[in-house]
Amino acid sequence: MDYKEELKACHDRIKPYIHKTPVLTSSYLNDRGSCEIYFKCEQFQKMGAFKMRGAANAILSLTEHEMKNGVVTHSSGNFAQAVSLSAKSIGVPAYIVMPENAPNVKKDAVRSYNGQITECYPSIEVRQATADKIVEDTGASFLHPSNQIEVILGQGTAALELLDDYPDLDLIVTPVGGGGLVAGTALACHYFSKKCKTIGAEPSKVDDAYRSLKSGKIENNETTDTIADGLRTTLGDVNFPLIQKYVDQILLADEDEIIEAMKLIWERMKIIIEPSCALPLAVVLKNPDLFSHKKVGIILSGGNVDLKKLPF
Amino acid sequence: MDYKEELKACHDRIKPYIHKTPVLTSSYLNDRGSCEIYFKCEQFQKMGAFKMRGAANAILSLTEHEMKNGVVTHSSGNFAQAVSLSAKSIGVPAYIVMPENAPNVKKDAVRSYNGQITECYPSIEVRQATADKIVEDTGASFLHPSNQIEVILGQGTAALELLDDYPDLDLIVTPVGGGGLVAGTALACHYFSKKCKTIGAEPSKVDDAYRSLKSGKIENNETTDTIADGLRTTLGDVNFPLIQKYVDQILLADEDEIIEAMKLIWERMKIIIEPSCALPLAVVLKNPDLFSHKKVGIILSGGNVDLKKLPF
């Protein structure tokens, strides 16, 4: 696949369905990190997260016939909303498998975007089986939140826009969960910048991607015990080879560093971000040897957070 | 005074010291209000509020001799930070009188901008007397947070930028506290738009400006019992005549409506605003007869809020 052409085509394809999100800076945080940080604000994306990009591209990459049969995914989080809203905007049915114990606020959000919810027992096996059954019954296309090339390319368009605005970035840092965002970002940096490296940021307690890069095979998480609830997932066989090839390194941050970085962004930048989004700033502040005097892009991935459960 | 020329000159004068803040929109809130709303994000302004504009203009309007002697104000809130940071950027000493019971976080913010704090007994009379004494001792110029024409013109530059980006706005809505922002906004609308009206938004419980416009004289507040802590002040003899002449009307919102609007902005727009900033959206949603099918600008005035004391 010619990723350079594909990334450009993907961006053109999804443009009518996404926001070009703004880039914010903070002189206070620049001082703290002794670097220039450019925050790409995907929490201002439609439905509140970068996942809109990948979902829209995956749906728009279907044939007309496939589109008629709709799309299906299982998710309790942002990807469920992203698929529902993209499908609604494009005019395609969306079937969303959600664990029966998912919070009502998340179910309501999916319903507000016309997503058709099927509830199931909360285990990954039952979720997948329920989605498979819908595929069988309706002919809908299954969409994976991070391990599908169309989704990965879609997520990469955030970095594409950031590099378009700031072509001389030295590094772009993203959080690493399922691996779609970091893989897409690495493709964008590789093909659209001469020097910009991609760095992934992961919770020390859920460091599967860090260990996978070391061992050369996809490692599982030993715990999912992190406040960064969007990053509890593991890599997949589509994104892992891209991460191995194009991501410079994965850096880790502890829970207290994640919370501190989240608080700094809320208090100093006056924007609402999910805990998962705080990882990049946490690793930038933790590793001055790598980042000081550099121009650093950070993808703020989303802002869907429960305001009643703040960690500070 | 030629306000049109003065506003333009003021904007040119303060440009190096302020951010041109971004304008955000929300399709959800547009649907809710059946109108197009353009949010001017002054919570992203330097030090986190529009007050930076007025403070910078007031200091830059001093003579070189006056600048040497510095500036003084009494404030426990955003204006103290705005004066300190402007003075620091311009290279002028700033003396800030603060009530001895002001929260440490506010004192620390002033100190971080090199403001020299004098603490005093927490009454308005003692605050003014303490400031007067500093004027006498140092020759510093006293700056008022809302009742001084240089400050009013500075605050008006937020609307000036908004009209420059969106020249066909029908209405701009601002919160009304001391009256500086609404008066400056009204001047900008009058001189830089053919049709744009200015509307002020005030808590029902602290409706001094609403009653002042009705009675034709400056009324006092009977209580200051509102969550919108930035709006507990009253109008002054410099801004009131401008408000009488150029503001179309003042609309009121109840406490529950203010909290609901604040929550909507946090949850849907992913931005952090003070309760005072929620007033304009509250009155827009409350008065569909006035706002539906209109293009509405809203000045989000600031984002300095205690994250430990959220009303939801």
Same domain? For A16 and A103 the reply is no
Q: Active-site residue A15, yes or no? A: no
Residues in a beta bridge with B297: B38, B172
Same-domain check for residues B117 and B179: no
Write out pLDDT tens, residues A272-312.
999 999 999 999 999 999 999 999 999 999 998 888 888 88
Residue B112 belongs to domain spanning: 52-142
- Closest residue in chain A to residue B302, using alpha carbons only: A270
Q: Give me the catalytic one of A40, A46, A51, A106.
A: A51
Q: Answer yes or no: is the ipTM higher than 0.90.
A: no
Answer yes or no: are the C-beta atoms of B302 and B48 closer than 8 Å: yes
B197-203 β-sheet, strand order: B23-24, B36-41, B295-300, B171-175, B197-203, B249-253
Tally A–B CB contacts below 8 A.
42
Q: Is B142 an 8 Å CB contact of chain A?
A: no
List, for residues A51-73, the tens digit of each pLDDT value: 999 999 999 999 999 999 999 99
pTM for the structure as a whole: 0.91
Task: Write out pLDDT tens, residues A90-106.
Answer: 999 999 999 898 888 88
pLDDT at A307: 86
Cβ B270–A272 below 8 Å, yes or no?
Answer: yes
- Count of domains forming chain B: 2
Q: Say yes or no for a CB contact (<8 Å) between A271 and B267.
A: no
Closest listed residue to residue A189, CA positions, set A152, A162, A154, A151: A162
CA atoms within 13 A on the CB side of B19: 20
Residues of B in contact with A273 (CB under 8 A): 270
CB of B180 within 8 A of CB of B145?
A: yes
A44 to chain B, any CB pair closer than 8 A? The answer is yes
pLDDT at B124: 84
Residues of A with Cβ-Cβ distance to B24 under 8 angstroms: 22, 44
Look at the block and give the residue holding tokens 């009304």. Answer: B176
| Mean pLDDT for the stretch of residues A132-152 | 97
Stretches where chain B sits below pLDDT 50 are none
Q: Are residues A97 and A131 in the same domain?
A: yes
pLDDT value at residue B31 = 95
Which of B51, B197, B205, B286 is labelled catalytic? B51
Question: Given CB atoms, is A22 within the 8 Å cutoff of chain B?
Answer: yes
In angstroms, what separates the C-alpha of A194 from chain B's closest C-alpha?
30
- The mean pLDDT of chain A is 95
To the nearest whole Å, the CA of A23 is away from the closest chain B CA by 10
Is residue B51 annotated as a catalytic residue, yes or no?
Answer: yes
B293 plus B162 within the same structural domain: yes
Instruction: For residues B9 and B101, state if they share a domain.
Output: no
Q: Is residue B306 situated within a structural domain?
A: no
Please tell me if residue B308 touches chain A, with a CB cutoff of 8 Å: yes
- pLDDT digits over B50-60, tens only? 999 999 999 99
- Which CATH number fits the domain that encloses residue B79? 3.40.50.1100
Whether B228 and B88 map to the same domain: the answer is no
List b or e across B120-144, with b for residues whose CB sees 16 or more CB atoms inside 10 angstroms. beeeeeebeebbeebbeeeebbbbb
pLDDT digit string, tens, across residues A205-236: 999 999 999 999 999 998 889 999 889 989 99
Q: pLDDT tens for residues B131-167? A: 999 999 999 999 999 999 999 999 999 999 999 999 9
Same domain for B267 and B220, yes or no, is: yes
pLDDT of residue A31: 95
